[in-house]
């Protein structure tokens, strides 16, 4: 369980990024963390990892306060950052040097990921492409088998086949004890993987709901013309009419579109809050 309670945080003395930020993330799920630029997605992951410290409030991961960075906490959490430095060593040396920090690290599992990604143990990391380095780091993170796995924009730098590969491997590495949080701008890359969805806005946690909850309260689809009697939260021109997100009082079935959902949340945050009974906490971009 990740529990963010009444957190205040800001990089500048007189400007807060978060005020009264509250969020609970449960094990056994792959959370998608979405939000506009500057809303604090990467910051939130670093706070959970204990790399940043709130001005006030508390972040607990299991029984540990994240900011205390106790050894038992560090060996059970792994962050794949968006930007990273990889040493000029061979893949084998990287794995041998870092695996001992994670008691549940699975060498056989890691070997499988190396083969899956088309890499070899003898390759020098500094000679890999950015996408190959990212795949290596993702594979290592999965093989740690930590209870908490955080990924910041993991599909950036991956080609289309690799994105499909990523979704399959992450889905296969999650069980009822593991909490995975993926921050992304690439909503369509992860549409079939992430559930629940957490969306940040300038008002705080604008949405924290499962796909089932979202599609029970919102309808996603195409219409030839806009209907004034239909409460539309987002509409955009498309071939043949309009792509819309509308309120769904009758509970009609539809397929979630993450990009449309994101736009609806940004356009109508207060109505989304009312529909999902989400407590909004101020976030200043």
User: What values do phi and psi take at 47, rounded to 5?
Assistant: -65, -45
What is the per-residue pLDDT for 125? 96
Question: Measuring CA to CA, how many Å separate 267 from each of 50, 165, 204, 245, 263?
Answer: 32, 33, 14, 11, 6
Instruction: Find how far residue 161's CA is from the centre of its chain.
Output: 20
Question: Measuring CA to CA, how many Å separate 172 from each of 30, 103, 106, 160, 260?
Answer: 11, 20, 14, 19, 27
Sites in the chain below the pLDDT cut of 50: 278-285
Query: Nearest Cα to 1, choosing from 183, 170, 181, 193?
Result: 181
Paired residues of 243 in beta bridges: 222, 236
pLDDT digits (tens, 9 = 90+) for 198-230: 998 766 788 999 999 999 999 999 999 998 888
What is the per-residue pLDDT for 203? 62
Domains recognised in the chain with CATH numbers:
2-195 (3.40.50.300), 209-285 (no CATH)
User: What values do phi and psi take at 138, rounded to 5?
Assistant: -65, -45
């Amino acid at each position: 369980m990740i529990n963010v309670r009444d957190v205040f945080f800001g990089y500048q003395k007189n400007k807060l990024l978060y005020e009264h930020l509250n969020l609970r993330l449960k094990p056994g799920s792959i959370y998608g963390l979405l939000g506009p630029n500057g809303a604090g997605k990467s910051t939130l992951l670093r706070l959970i990892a204990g790399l940043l410290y709130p001005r006030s409030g508390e972040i607990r991961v299991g029984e540990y306060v994240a900011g205390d960075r106790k050894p038992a906490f560090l060996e059970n959490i792994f962050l794949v950052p968006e930007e990273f430095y990889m040493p000029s060593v061979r893949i084998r040396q990287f794995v041998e040097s870092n695996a001992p920090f994670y008691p549940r690290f699975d060498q056989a599992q890691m070997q499988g990921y190396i083969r899956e990604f088309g890499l070899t143990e003898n390759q020098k990391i500094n000679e890999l492409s950015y996408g190959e380095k990212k795949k290596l780091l993702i594979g290592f993170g999965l093989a740690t088998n930590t209870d908490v796995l955080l990924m910041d924009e993991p599909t950036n730098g991956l080609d289309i086949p690799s994105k499909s590969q990523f979704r399959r491997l992450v889905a296969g590495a999650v069980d009822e004890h593991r909490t995975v949080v993926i921050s992304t701008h690439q909503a369509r890359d992860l549409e079939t993987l992430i559930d629940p969805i957490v969306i940040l806005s300038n008002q705080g946690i604008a949405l924290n709901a499962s796909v089932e909850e979202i599609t029970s309260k919102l309808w996603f689809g195409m219409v030839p013309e806009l209907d004034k009697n239909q409460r539309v939260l987002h509409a955009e021109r498309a071939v043949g009419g309009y792509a819309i997100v509308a309120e769904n009082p009758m509970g009609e079935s539809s397929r979630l579109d993450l990009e449309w959902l994101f736009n609806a949340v940004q356009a109508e945050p207060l109505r989304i809050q009312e529909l999902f009974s989400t407590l909004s906490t101020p976030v200043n971009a």
